[in-house]
Amino acid sequence: MLKDKNIIVGVTAGIAAYKAVDLVSRLKKQNANVEVIMTENATKFVSPLTFQTLALNPVYVDMFKEPRNYDVEHISLAEKADVFLIAPATANIIGKIANGIADDLLTTTIMATKAKVIFAPAMNTNMYLNPIVQGNMDYLKGLGYEFIKPGIGILACQTYGPGRMAESADIVEYVIDSFYDKDLVGRKILVTAGPTIEPLDPVRYITNHSSGKMGYKIAEEANKRGADVVLISGPTNLEPPTGVEIIKVNTTREMFNAVEEHFYQCEVLIKAAAPLDYRPEVVSNEKIKKKDGEKDELNIKYIRNPDIVAHFGNLKKNQIVVGFAAETNNLIEHAKEKLAKKNLDFIVANDVSKDGAGFKTDTNLVTIIDKDGMVTDYPILDKLQVAKIILNKVKELINDKS
């Protein structure tokens, strides 16, 4: 993911320096070129040799050491950096940068870089909450420096509160995300995902096999590309993507109401959910009992639920509305009918009877059909890849409209 990216990691003097070892190792596993600059004091916590061994690069500490090459180190590292990550970042380094102090190799390099600088603070809770530190961070944020929030927990100094350096995996994810093309910044995108359920009685309901994976990947990807995302989700076991506003619903009518509440503020509606088309006409207040002596049958009358995407597709003014079609036969024919009937901008058709496609799987096999009838087939792809393709298409339509 970080292939050919130059990540300069600045390690400052905090006990969390030991966590930076894992961080460097994880960045390397993402195929980044990692170079480490340590402050003199940081070397008292972890040896430069540890970082050198993991990063497979020399570790820089001393500004005035014999030059290893003819470049001025703080300039060459500053220029080389695609991202500059300071982890752990002490109150001291934050304060120095906020006040323009450049008195060692790390601070001079940060000052000289035009790359994105990300701090992962780690310090005692009281220090972290100190208005001076908070003020320094606010000031730096205003200048475009970024901060990865520390975790809350028991710290090495035995205090409880914020100040624990974010987990390495989350920091790596943050770095990966920083390379995202933020081409959907400020776009308001509404995504639906998962199944709906319709109760029969207090203990039973009907539903379908949707896991929510497809819709969640779309929401996650749109958020990473800078969109403001509202995700309306039926019941799933998935963790909501970070940064996305999530609204949980059960029934199709609840999903309809949630879409109605947000539709008029959004520019794009993507309906990846699989809402139930029918619900039992009567929901029993009590558990439905077996009745001895009667026929071995239970007849339940079902009535139609609203077709959410058709309703809003036909109401849309300037919005882009994208639907899915889950079919088991005549994929293109049925998808084309839905595209027209629901007044969609395009439809993502998947034959859910095929291996690796549709419900529950991590992959999907889709065909996208445009309003003008263009049909594009894709091979089996990870649902994240499918999400990217859908959002690229959405982006094209947004561009056409503006």
**Residues that constitute the known binding site for CTP:** 277, 287, 306-309, 324, 338, 342
Which of the stretches 20-28, 89-97, 146-154, 207-215 binds ligand PMT when contact is defined by CB under 6 A?
207-215
List % helix, strand, coil for the chain (3-state, nearest 5).
Answer: 35, 25, 40
Query: Could you say which of 19, 26, 271, 279 contacts ligand PMT (CB under 6 A)?
Result: 271
Q: Amino acid identity of 325?
A: A
289 secondary structure, DSSP code = P
Q: Is 163 in the site for ligand PMT (CB under 6 A)?
A: no
Query: Could you say which of 309, 365, 390, 394 contacts ligand PMT (CB under 6 A)?
Result: 309
Q: Is 358 in the site for ligand PMT (CB under 6 A)?
A: yes
Cα-based distances in Å from 371 to 189, 229, 326: 20, 24, 18
Distance CA 262, CA 222 (A): 17
Cβ distance to ligand PMT smaller for residue 83 or 273 = 273
Q: Which tokens is 387 given? A: 């999400």
Q: Is 266 a residue of the active site?
A: no
For 167-319, where are the E strands, in sequence order?
A: 188-193, 198-201, 204-206, 228-233, 245-248, 268-271, 278-280, 302-304
Distance CA 3, CA 332 (A): 38
Cβ distance to ligand PMT smaller for residue 80 or 354 = 354
Distance CA 318, CA 188 (A): 13
Residue in 268, 262, 221 with CA at minimum distance from that of residue 398: 268
Site string for ligand PMT, 14-43 (x = CB under 6 A): ------------------------------
Which of the stretches 27-35, 156-164, 358-366, 393-401 binds ligand PMT when contact is defined by CB under 6 A?
358-366
Distance CA 236, CA 219 (A): 14
User: What is the number of alpha carbons within 13 Å of residue 131 lying toward its C-beta?
Assistant: 0
Cβ distance to ligand PMT smaller for residue 22 or 370 = 370
Query: Could you say which of 32, 326, 339, 390 contacts ligand PMT (CB under 6 A)?
Result: 326
Q: Is 218 in the site for ligand PMT (CB under 6 A)?
A: no
Nearest distance, CB of residue 305 and ligand PMT, angstroms: 5
CA terminus-to-terminus distance, the chain: 32
Q: Which tokens is 162 given? A: 């914020």
Nearest distance, CB of residue 20 and ligand PMT, angstroms: 37
Query: Could you say which of 324, 363, 365, 390 contacts ligand PMT (CB under 6 A)?
Result: 324
CB distance 347 to 324 below 8 Å = yes
Distance CA 121, CA 119 (A): 6
Distance CA 208, CA 266 (A): 28
Name the β-bridge partners of 60: 37
Q: Is 350 in the site for ligand PMT (CB under 6 A)?
A: yes
Cβ distance to ligand PMT smaller for residue 108 or 211 = 211
Catalytically annotated residue among 56, 132, 152, 157 = 157
Cβ distance to ligand PMT smaller for residue 171 or 259 = 259
Cβ distance to ligand PMT smaller for residue 14 or 275 = 275
Which of the stretches 18-26, 101-109, 143-151, 324-332 binds ligand PMT when contact is defined by CB under 6 A?
324-332
148 secondary structure, DSSP code = P
Judged by CB under 6 A, the chain residues 373 through 392 that form the site for ligand PMT are none
Q: What residues line the site for ligand PMT (CB under 6 A)?
A: 194, 210-214, 252, 271-275, 277, 305, 307-309, 323-326, 338, 350, 352, 358-360, 364
- What is the set of active-site residues? 157
